[in-house]
Amino acid sequence: MNMRRIKIHIFGLMEKGNIGTLAAQKALIKFLKRIIEVDVSISVSNKSVFIYYCPEIKENEIYGPLELRISSNVIPSHFKWIIFTFLELLILNFSAIFWSLYKRVSSRRNVINRMNECDVFIDLNLEKFRGIPISISPELIKHNPWIIVIHKIYWSLRILLTLWYLFLIKGIFKKKLIVGPASFGPFKGLPSLIRLMINFIFAKFVDLILIREPLSAKFLNEINVRNYIVVSDIALVDLKRDAKALNPSNPRLMVGFAPAFIRHTLTKMEYENYIEAHVKLIDYLVDEYCCNIILMPSSTDDLVVTNEIVSRIHNRDKVKIIVNDDVDFYESIIRELDLLVTSRMHPSIIAARNFIPFCSIIYDHKQIGFLRQISLLNYSILINEITCWSLKTLVDQALQNRLKIKEIIEKNLAKIRQSLEIGIEKSIKTLAFDSRSPETT
């Protein structure tokens, strides 16, 4: 039987690049090449940057401006992203519609041709079908009731844009469509119409949803979405077997911090507690443990809060800020750590796959789901419950038990990885082969 190669098109970065999304994207491509025995061709497109960058389609390459653009001005960058995304969606709409009418299309022609030729679309949609985050402070809502309205509007618009994108690519190109592995919800508090639209699009236009943690499954069940399987974060398939061997007697420990920009979900006092707790902790680690400290923001926004923390530290000579958009370089820094203190999900994923001990500051349910999967929920704290004392206690405990944390990671990661590989491999192979006509096999 003469079989042509399977062609898979991945919709990659949805918004401004960050290390976590890049790590997931890279791991997915590597995994697909490994699991599909027949010849496979993979391409990746960045659906929010075509507006100013139209890539040349090449097989087995990531393309698009994937670098971080460091800026201390966060709010305008969000507005810029919203404008770019909206314009890109309009352009892709018209281009795809003209293409479907057999009209010659110059704009996005390479991308559209590739989409038409592929067997399966994978929308690596990590953060778009989200609701009001669990990190939003009850005190903030109490003092500023309008903040919940803003969150409802913001998340509803993000969801609507993504639903329309899925409707467009499925309706016009009629290819098998996988969404994820991603996190979803919570949808409570969003308009009923939004929840109904999610249910309709997922049921009628999405062939399979891959969920990266079990709490998202609960949220999808609440809106009667059932066409999913629970796996885990795709970046976990790329385990690093030659991870650093911990030396508990090492006199100079290296501790990394991955802070998060969460100012719009906390009260002014809670945000101040978050900053001050980091400042006090870093000075404490330098004074008491003689630690070297590395701050490693994983996105442009996070650099803002990083700079704010560093500006208040007394032992600034023992602190380094590392900003880099290269996933391998970012990972190489984590591999040298004795402990990572992270407010972001993907730095903890990268630490876990390298068997590096970490403790988490939780701002989202996706972190809770992952920490339950890996049995490290005891080494975490909710972001709006942080005090100088509670964060210090958490990190002291993690430093003293870092060999135990490493053992827990090693024990649980093997099971997670096996389940992840089996689930994704089976679903992608099934959809890829089902989408091909008999004459091509």
Statement to judge: residues 134 and 263 lie in one domain: no
* Residue ranges making up the domain that contains 30: 6-238+416-440
Q: Note whether 421 and 313 are same-domain residues.
A: no
**433 and 407, same structural domain?**
no
Indicate if 431 and 392 belong to the same structural domain. no
Q: Is residue 43 domain-resident?
A: yes
Quote the mean pLDDT of the chain: 77
Q: Answer yes or no: are the C-beta atoms of 295 and 265 closer than 8 Å.
A: no
142-156, 163-177, 256-270, 422-436 — which is least confidently predicted?
A: 422-436
Write down the pLDDT at residue 167. Answer: 81
- 57 and 141 in a common domain: yes
What was the pLDDT predicted at 1?
Answer: 36
Q: Please tell me the predicted confidence (pLDDT) of residue 401.
A: 95
Query: If you compute the radius of gyration of the chain from its CA atoms, what whole number of angstroms results?
Result: 22
What is the rounded distance in angstroms from the CA atom of residue 258 to the CA atom of residue 349?
12
Separation of alpha carbons 168 and 299, rounded Å: 29
Q: Is residue 246 part of a domain?
A: no
**Residues 47/88, Cβ–Cβ less than 8 Å:** yes
97 within some domain: yes
Q: Is residue 272 part of a domain?
A: yes
Say how many domains are in the chain. Answer: 2
My answer on whether 385 and 274 are in the same domain is: yes
Please identify which residue in the block is written with the tokens 């024990």. 411
Looking at residue 69, its pLDDT comes to 29
In a domain, 180, yes or no: yes
Based on the fold, state whether residues 162 and 141 are members of the same structural domain. Answer: yes
In a domain? residue 144: yes
**What per-residue confidence (pLDDT) applies to 65?**
28
Selection from 12, 24, 13 nearest residue 347 by Cα: 24
Residues 226 and 314 in one domain: no
Please report which residue ranges of 36-145 form alpha helices under DSSP H.
74-100, 109-117, 138-143
In a domain? residue 394: yes
CATH classification of the domain holding 402: 3.40.50.2000
- Are residue 144 and residue 40 in the same domain, yes or no? yes
pTM score, whole prediction = 0.80
Does the structure show a pLDDT above 70 at 169? yes
Q: Is the pLDDT of residue 437 over 60?
A: no
180 shares a domain with 50: yes
Query: 88 and 167: one domain?
Result: yes
DSSP labels, 413-426: HHHHHHHHHHHHHH
pLDDT tier for residue 51 given thresholds of 50, 70 and 90: very low
Exposure letters 115-133 (e unless 16+ CB within 10 A, then b) = beebbbbbbbbbbbbbbbb
Domain annotation covers residue 422: yes
Q: What is the pLDDT of residues 360-391, one digit of tens each?
A: 999 888 899 899 999 999 999 999 889 999 99
pLDDT-derived band at 348, boundaries 50, 70, 90: very high
CATH number for the domain including 89? 3.40.50
Please compute the mean of the pLDDT values over residues 344-351 and round it to a whole number.
90
Query: What is the mean pLDDT of the segment spanning 171-197?
Result: 86
Task: Over range 184-202, report the average pLDDT.
Answer: 88
- pLDDT value at position 87? 60
The larger pLDDT score, comparing residue 71 to residue 215, is at 215
pLDDT at 255: 95
10's enclosing H/E stretch is strand 6-11
Q: Higher pLDDT residue, 52 or 418? A: 418
428: its two tokens: 């992608």
* One domain for residues 129 and 272: no
DSSP tally for the chain: helices H, then strands E: 14, 13
